[in-house]
Every structure is written in structure tokens, then in C-alpha cells.
Amino acid sequence: MPTESHLAALNITNFPIDDYCVGSKWTVANEEQLAGLIATIVMGQAMQAEHIIEELLPAVPAFTNEALKREAIIKFTVQEVSQSPRIGYPRVHRDGLIFELISWIAAKQVSGDRCFLKDPHTSATSQGLDGIMIELNHDRSEISKSTIFEDKCVDSPRNTFTQKVIPGFLDRHGNTRNAELIAAAANLIKMSGASNVQAMSMVNKVMDNSCRQYRAGFALTQNFDDGEAQKSLFKGYNKINDINQDQRIGASLIVDGELRDWFDILAGKIVHYIQNLEVA
């Protein structure tokens, strides 16, 4: 059995990118563990995945059956042309789902016991808020930090950062899309054990930009694995103004080889993992 030190799915390294933002680089540390965690989450068991990550346990779902396995396998199978019944999803949607799940795993690996993270989507076509994490203060009476995630698995990361991610973050920063954040944050506060009344008295802090972080996450090839490439990719982050350097995070999953090829290989390993699960 692997030792605990080998049961972290990802290696995560933090570093400064420039005067305006900090970086978080992710590389795969244990591919089997990563595949197992992704499969577990897609089968609706993010709570089980959270327990696995916190306790550094081998990745195994709490339960499964043949119907869950079939449903999960479809989500990692490529189907470019629509047909009925569905047997898969377009590659870009499948890869986007896998990357969002990796982003969630990365956040869980580095979060403490006062951090609460929105469960990731379990469908390749889900829309809405990619992710939000809140951190409570020591006595869990107030939000001390909230982090908004934007996760992108695209072939043109720079254009996506400037044309989609930054405008989206600016909307959030201008507090023009609050209802979704408030609802998500209130549910996270309730996970801490707070009552409905307590949650609603605490949740307004999620609109306070002074304690907010923004994390733009991209799946990238090794061409982006150096300081200058990171600076070029995340140039312009300071358009989100009146916050500090560490409140703007540029996160990168660095993969070997071509981007889509890498996701094809990982998807195949996830499917193989699911196929070999014992029904229990």
C-alpha cells in the first residue's frame, strides 16, 4: 500500500508571478489517486473525496453500483456528434469537467479545517459559478476570506484570460452578481454548523472586496512552465484594483505533451478505474 506521502494527488507550488499577482503551480503527483478522486466526485461523492484528501487515504468511493458506473463513464467518453441515447460529451466539455475537478482537488489539498468549498459540478455541461471557497475566523463567527474561482481548459489561454476571466472577475468585483455568491456562501457557512440565522448574519462579508481573493486557473502545457510565460499569461490582472498582490492568484495545471492528448490519456485512466470498481 502507498505511504501517506504518496497519496497526495497533486504537487502544489506557490510563487510570485509579478507585483500584482501570485502563482500556484499544480503537477500530478499520483495519477492513480487523481483518477480515483475524480471518479469519486463524479459519482456524487464529493464528501467522500474530501475525507480521502484530508486523511490521505487511497481513493475509493464510499459505495457504487453498475448504474453509477455507467453514468460516470459516459461523462469521460468523447461524443462529438449528438445522438440518443447519449454515450459521451464533446471533448472540450469533458476536458473542462476534468479540469474543474482537478481545481477542486487542488483547493482541498491546501485548505484548512476552517475552509469550506462549494462542491464541483458533476456534469460536463454544467453552467454557473465555477467555485467559491470561504475561510472562517478562529471562532467561526465571521468570514475572514472568500475565494472565487474561474477554471478554464482552453487552447487560447491568454485570450480567454483577457476576454472572459478578467471581465467576469470585474463583474464580481463590482458586486453586480451577488445573489449567486450569497446563496453559495450561506450554504458553506451552514456546513460549519452555524444555524440559518447565524449564516445569514455572517454571509454579507462575502461581498467585502477587502477580504476576497480571485483565482484564475488554467490547464497548460510545459510552454507555460517558466516565469516569463506566467507573467505574459496573467498580465493585466491588476485591472481588478484596490486589492493586494496575494488576492490575485494565477493557477496553472502543467501537463506533459499536448493538452488534449494529456486529457485523453487521463480520461482513459479514469474510465479504467471506474470499470474495475467492485460494486458495493
Q: pLDDT-derived band of residue 5, with 50, 70 and 90 as boundaries?
A: low
Cβ–Cβ under 8 Å, residues 219 and 95: yes
Residues comprising the chain, all counted: 280
Dihedral sign, Cα of residue 53, residue 57, residue 61, residue 62: negative
Cα Rg of the chain (Å, integer): 19
pLDDT at 1: 42
Helix (H, G, I), strand (E, B) or coil at 60: coil
- What's the pLDDT tens digit per position in 174-233? 988 889 999 999 999 999 999 999 999 999 999 999 999 999 999 999 999 999 999 999
pLDDT at 30 > cutoff 80: yes
* Identity of the amino acid at 147: T
For all residues of the chain together, what is the average pLDDT? Answer: 94
Dist CA 245 CA 254 (whole Å): 22
Q: pLDDT tens digits, residue range 66-124?
A: 999 999 999 999 998 888 888 899 999 999 999 999 999 999 999 989 999 999 988 76
Over residues 28-41, the mean pLDDT reads 98
State the helix-helix crossing angle for 46-55 and 31-42, rounded to 10 degrees.
150
Q: Tell me, what's the pLDDT at 6?
A: 76
pLDDT tens by residue, 221-273: 999 999 999 999 999 999 999 999 999 999 999 999 999 999 999 999 999 99
Q: Identify whether 246 is part of a domain.
A: yes
Work out how many domains the chain is built from and give that number: 1
Whether 280 maps to a domain, the answer reads no
User: CB 150: neighbour CB atoms within 10 A?
Assistant: 22
Check: CB of residue 9 under 8 Å from CB of residue 28.
yes
DSSP letters, 214-230, are EEEEEEEEGGG-SHHHH
Place 125 in a pLDDT band, splitting at 50, 70 and 90.
low
For the four alpha carbons of 30, 32, 38 and 41, in that order, the dihedral sign comes to negative
Residues 32, 1: Cα–Cα separation, whole Å: 13
pLDDT-based confidence at 2, cuts 50/70/90? very low
Question: What is the tally of helices (H) and strands (E) in the chain?
Answer: 10, 7
Q: What's the pLDDT at 55?
A: 95
Q: Is residue 243 part of a domain?
A: yes
Block residue for cell numbers 501517506: 4
Supply the pLDDT for residue 3: 47
Q: Which domain holds residue 169?
A: 4-275
- According to the model, what pLDDT value does residue 25 have? 98
